[in-house]
Amino acid sequence: MSKSLANRNIGSSYKDLLKVDGNSSGLTSSPQVLGDGDGNDSACNISTNHLNVKPTASNQSSTFDVKDIEDTSLFTVNTTNKTVLAGQNNYKVNCGVMDFYSYFPHGSISTGTHYAMTCGTMLTSQLGMLLGTSTDPDTTIDISATTNSWLSPLTYAQIYKNIEIESINLSYQSKDDSGATNPTFDVHVNTYTTDTTGSTGDASSGALIASSTGGVLTSTTSIYKTTSLTVTTSTITATTGKVIVPSLVYTAAGDDDVIAKLQIRYYLQ
């Protein structure tokens, strides 16, 4: 609770007074820093129609913080990592989700080949774009020479704003096909820069940003499984043509089909 100024003279209390740095002109239409009577600036800049909150020395995890009467933060602006948190559990409000899907019939795939997952929809009668047979997916995609390249609109997840990846999670299960051997596979997530001129649609500058933790995953019939991928590059800059492309590669095809969903949680920077 603040103290009253009653019976206190200016000489002993001027440090506790708040003022704007307006050369005795008071509030104006331009924001002015709000400070105390001893010349110390606060994080507030105020005008007749505007209020700014700006750190004076360095960014903070709670530059702006709204709390309830129990002192629980309900709305926090973190200027250190450029995030806004809301609610009693402090969820990021500038958060988004990208979903990718795949259905891989065991009789149609080639072990060791990277198959791209599709964004926002699952194909049940068509395998995804082929991204090579090396340990990691190819770093370039030649549309004219890539199998199933006509699926590029469903494969390329365009990045229009700078994002920070919070987590990448995979859920998967085998479809019972009366097989005796469970499939095993790895998952990779790459970024590429695509040609946006409309002449080719090719992709280059492929970079691995995440992969399945611990290597090979085993899909089991009628058992729903989840895992988190290891993210090695979390900051994605939205340069022209930047896309995200996850892919799945079988290390052993097994006898069962595999259904998988990959979810990327991110927040806007």
Q: Comparing C-alpha atoms, which of 186, 179, 241, 227 is closest to residue 208?
A: 186
Q: Which two tokens stand for residue 185?
A: 């596979």
Q: Comparing C-alpha atoms, which of 262, 265, 269, 214 is closest to residue 237?
A: 269
State which amino acid sits at residue 220.
Answer: T
pLDDT of residue 119: 92
35 shares a domain with 1: yes
255 shares a domain with 126: yes
pLDDT of residue 231: 96
Element (DSSP H or E) covering residue 36: strand 32-36
CA distance 232 to 228: 12
123, 150 Cβ separation under 8 angstroms: no
Domain region containing 258: 95-268
162 shares a domain with 71: no
140 shares a domain with 7: no
Residue 216: give its domain's CATH number: 2.60.120
Coil/strand/helix, residue 15: helix
183 shares a domain with 104: yes
User: Percentage of the chain with pLDDT > 70?
Assistant: 95
Alpha helices in the chain (DSSP H): 10-13, 152-155
Q: Give the pLDDT confidence of 214-235 residue by residue, as tens digits.
A: 667 887 767 888 999 999 999 9
CA distance 12 to 99: 63
CA distance 187 to 179: 22
191 shares a domain with 99: yes
237 shares a domain with 151: yes
Q: Comparing C-alpha atoms, which of 167, 159, 158, 139 is closest to residue 236?
A: 159
CA distance 154 to 122: 9
203 shares a domain with 140: yes
Domain count, the chain: 3
Going 172 to 159 to 196 to 133, the CA torsion angle's sign is negative
Q: Give the pLDDT confidence of 59-109 residue by residue, as tens digits.
A: 999 998 999 999 999 999 999 987 888 998 888 888 899 999 998 877 777
103 shares a domain with 75: no
CA distance 129 to 33: 57
- CA dist 241 to 116, 166, 193, Å? 18, 22, 5
155 shares a domain with 137: yes
123 shares a domain with 231: yes
260 shares a domain with 215: yes
- Residues lower than pLDDT 70 in the chain: 1-2, 22, 124-126, 176-180, 214-215, 221
Bridge partners of 91, per DSSP, are: 86
